[in-house]
Amino acid sequence: MAHDEFSLIRQWTSRSAGQEGNGLTVGIGDDAAVFSPAPEMEVVACCDAMVETVHFLKKTMNPSDIGYKAVISNVSDVAAMGGVARYALVSIAVSPQWTPDECQQIYEGIYEACQAYGVRVIGGDTVSAPDALHLSVTVLGEVEKGRAIRRSQAKPGQLVFVTGHVGTSAAGLHLLLQGETAERGVSLPWETLMDAHQRPVAQIKAGRLLLESGACSALNDVSDGLASELWEIAEASGVSILVDAATVPIHDEVREYARHVEKDPLEWAFYGGEDYQLVGTLAKSHYEAVSKQFAASGVPFTVIGEVVEKRHEPELMLQRDDQQLPLPKAGFNHFRSG
């Protein structure tokens, strides 16, 4: 970077200065941060990276959206454990194509997301990169001791549910990649799709409801696509899962846009990813109580299938009309050839 590194760091992270207290002993500005979780809580730690051309393009994401989304992807992982996000560490590698003002906007997005979820930035690193911008965010949260919800406790006979809608972010990305079409705003309601991709919502409230209910046996966040997340639950739990295509919650505007571009919205739902909804399992006996809790909290909650005994290996099947079809183990994979 052509500018003085340390002055830029102070400028970009100025909103974190002097935030000690409430569990934080040493904040940003020293060699390391120091915090003390309550004795009855456990730390939840997660880290996600966003790399230019791999996770975003300048034509699909404003700088502030990049920062915002980098935080949300981590907060969503904490939500999938039933926890609450508390602190964030931000590392950024800046290529020559990015100006200090654009980086300032990235940090504005970071702080906007942190403020929305009660997270404090407590440290990180800033370096230069030769070709593309790299942004990595680590979030530290907390959850009641011994109560973190894992992927591995799904049992045959349980119901499979998902919060919110799925496929919306992928539809938004498709729209944004059209360039001229997205900029003209052909149909105003389709802006909802772009918002879902650029400014997703982490389901902390839903995760806490599930933890407090004690009803949820397995939970995952929908970051790499519904199929990928269900496969993870099936394999971790040693079960198979059957999903009813007719019940998968897809937003009406996604269906409308899918008809317009002649796409199957289920493809976006199962393989698009970045919806950051929660998908999990619970016993049938808990369904009525949990669904009432979600309805009272205004959080959409939909049963989409059931957990079944595995035959030889875990499977993921889709019931569509009168057919049962295998759902491949797909979704976004950084290392898949081709």
* CA–CA separation, 272 and 102 (whole Å): 28
Measuring CA to CA, which residue among 124, 73, 63 is closest to residue 99? Answer: 63
Which H or E element spans position 289?
helix 287-297
State the virtual CA torsion across 104, 105, 107, 112 in degrees, nearest 10.
140
Contact predicate 8/128, CB 8 Å: no
Residue numbers in the known binding site for substrate are 55, 274, 332
Give the bridge partners for 26, in sequence order. Answer: 34
Residues at the binding site for Mg(2+) are: 31, 48, 77, 125, 221, 224
Q: What angle do CA 177, 273, 286 make, to 5 degrees?
A: 150
Q: Scanning the structure block, which residue is given the tokens 């295998």? A: 326
CB 167 within 8 A of CB 249: no
Q: What is the C-alpha to C-alpha distance for residues 35 and 75, in angstroms, rounded to an integer?
A: 18
Rounded to the nearest 10 degrees, what angle do helices 191-198 and 252-261 cross at? 110
Q: List residues forming the annotated binding site.
A: 31, 48, 55, 77, 107, 124-125, 151, 221, 223-224, 274, 332
Which residues are CB-neighbours of 3 under 8 A, at least 6 positions away?
A: 100
What torsion, rounded to 10 degrees, do the Cα atoms 110, 220, 289, 208 define? -30
Main-chain dihedrals φ then ψ at residue 159, nearest 5 degrees: -90, 150
Binding residues for ATP: 107, 124-125, 151, 223
